Amino acid sequence: MRHDTGYGHPERPERISAVIAGLESSGIPLVGVAPEPASIDLLSAVHDAEYISRFEKFCADGGGAIDMDTYAGAASWEASLRAAAAGPAVCDRLDEGVADLGYVAMRPPGHHAVRDRAMGFCFFNNVAVTAACLTRRGNRVAIVDWDVHHGNGTQDLFYEDPDVLYLSIHQEGIYPGTGSLSETGHGEAEGTNLNIAVPGRTGGEFYIRAMSEVLVPIITQFKPDWLLVSSGYDAHVDDPLAGLNLVADDYGSMAQLLAPLVPAGRSVIFLEGGYDLDALRQSAAATVRGWLDPTFQAGPADEGINPQGYLRWAQEVAARYWKLP
């Protein structure tokens, strides 16, 4: 809450209050976790030591603008360390059997942060830190990114890692300009990266079909030990920074499809983007209800376009590496 992005910035502290209110309203019992700051060793699994040191000094000197969108203040260093440590801390608690699902409601977000640079409101790549921590322990990890913006940092960090599967659905033609179908991984990791970029006004019906017909079969064949979700809610129809047409229940429907793919207690959801407070609250509640509540039934999807040609293109690329229905 003390991470100060400046007056009028969309990535503001109230986002966390909205998400927590949504989780509390879901009817799902919550177990709190308060992470300690991440160690340099934990961060160094995905970030350069020189960059970590440079960012620490930048914050200690009072912070400021890193680029036209990304701001840090004096408190941003500790906030970033705790956000990066939250995923591993949640995994440790899940290993103890205290819950069936982890939810990292933290800021700053992370999926745009690359090895040696902050960008897109992100300083350390929270989901990547957790994935690297898990693969160090011998696990295979699948990451699903449904933020409206492509997670360029996460993709780059695992582009040559065959133990990490990265799947993204995002809006085409917007920040950061990456995430094409041609980006499929490299070397031994060829085929472990798939991007589905969709046009503006795409609705939840397309997302749910892409999830069930492309992403779920791929994850099933990859056989991950852990499933991590970069859960931005900026594809919501009310979000001010993008142009897609999802509604809150669409996130619940996608969560319902993902939940059976790994055993209970082996999934963690990470808050990424999402800048309308009501949409954040409703979508967070729908996500955990879809994942954990067997009585969850989604309402109708928002009217939007359903670009079936984009689905066929994704199926053609995915079919080079995986068996699809």
Identity of residue 202 = T
Phi and psi of 64, rounded to 5°?
140, -160
Of the residues 111, 112, 170, 236, only one is catalytic, namely 112
Cis peptide before 88 (omega within 30 of 0): no
70-100: b (≥16 Cβ within 10 Å) or e = bbbbeebbebbbbbbbbbbbbbebbeeeebb
The whole-angstrom separation of Cα 128 and Cα 133 is: 8
The whole-angstrom separation of Cα 149 and Cα 172 is: 8
- The end-to-end CA distance of the chain, in Å, is 45
- DSSP label of 38: P
For residue 112, give both structure tokens. Answer: 């745009």
Phi and psi of 166, rounded to 5°?
-120, 120
For residue 152, give both structure tokens. Answer: 């360029």
111 a catalytic residue: no
Q: Which residues, including other chains, have CB under 8 Å from residue 88's CB and lie 6 or more apart?
A: 35, 38, 42, 129, 130, 133
Residues annotated as catalytic are: 112
